Structure 1
């Protein structure tokens, strides 16, 4: 059961043991990682093109994605406001503008990458038998670089432990996402192991889509990608609206993206007090995305 998990988890662990002090090297690794994500997402599009009865499969993706998005979001938002009530975090009111449309376009461009792969696969008479193998090997390389990124994120164990807001937000996000995932799996008549794996993306749409696509096929890769991308897009709108009254809720709903993509929005609209909380909660969730997904995938196999 765990041999497959060990094989795919090894590059992540190996990467995590590599400490890099040079900024230029880290920037290069970040660029390589971003490029690998684009390559694998384009391969996901090619995989979708190879499916029989594409129209029905796309309808399935929409149905499953909407179901998971609803149950996960409802579970998260049912409990996160309690943190704001019982352990309030005081945000700062700012008047700075946030380039939300530009940030949303950065997220949406990945949809065009998947769509481009789909279009190429549909329009050109290509032999797509190599796509699955290529995706698996590129995924291993991607996990290696992600391990390096997580190791060199700048957070120490002490910084994580002493930030109780960040720890509690991450814990609530994990537990409520698992609950929401089980409800979605029950509604869709999906094995609980697979439902929990699908619920462990926490907003990291690129990695979630890639891991689920590798484990369960392009349909579920597309579902996971869509669910987590929707979370990020909703978070971009939700954070400026709610962070003043419900900062923990806004930070928590952003999930893993709170430490990177949505962090500028959190800082600009919530103030500097929200930044350490967002970084800690986002880091914990980012670290656990591959761990939990691969664990539940191993149980489902």
Structure 2
């Protein structure tokens, strides 16, 4: 690996560590009202996860000149939204998973009602975190996160996913589902970082959105691939779950090799979109390559 690649990986690791520290600051503030809920919140977020979304906030913001202190709140907020979605996705009424990130899912480690409440609390805590720091574009930041998480974003994607079990989707419908279920939060992460730094009229914001749209879809395609090629121990969740539930996926629709090729094409699109950022975009490029080369 080149010196630049090693440097970029160190930058990514530092952003990941910073996000963990900021999250701990929010989650370890015991409310004193219900210790069981506090424990479930901490269990669902801290100590596990790749932290891709908060890292994207930091790297996008830094690329446009934002200070880390201004990026802390949106980075924490988007990871809380992601964590809440995983807690709810794992519930018996949805995917009914027993394992997440290498340990029992929240409803297994605690119980189902508490898992529902933990997800609810994480969603609201995310917006508390986002609003905790004054910013001239706070309204745009809140709108970005709300739209990505809600009825026109992640929640819609999950609803489409649940309704698609056992059905046959064409490529356009499958792509739309992935763009909402997974891609919406990834695009929001990049946009949050960008809007902390500059106004949305800055042309680099549009370039970063093109990057995020491409890498968000590539990330989900690679997730589909890992469900076929990975093992449970490495993945930290049950492998083969999509096929077992008869869910539409890229490998099921296109075949494994074609799905892998499509992810690589999208990576190339993402890297092309970063060119206007020059050297400042290189950590994002390194992270993008990791996102479709990871084994979990």
TM-score where L is the length of structure 2: 0.29
**Structure with the higher fraction of residues in helix conformation:** 1
**Does 1 or 2 have the higher relative contact order (CA < 8 Å, sep 6+)?**
1
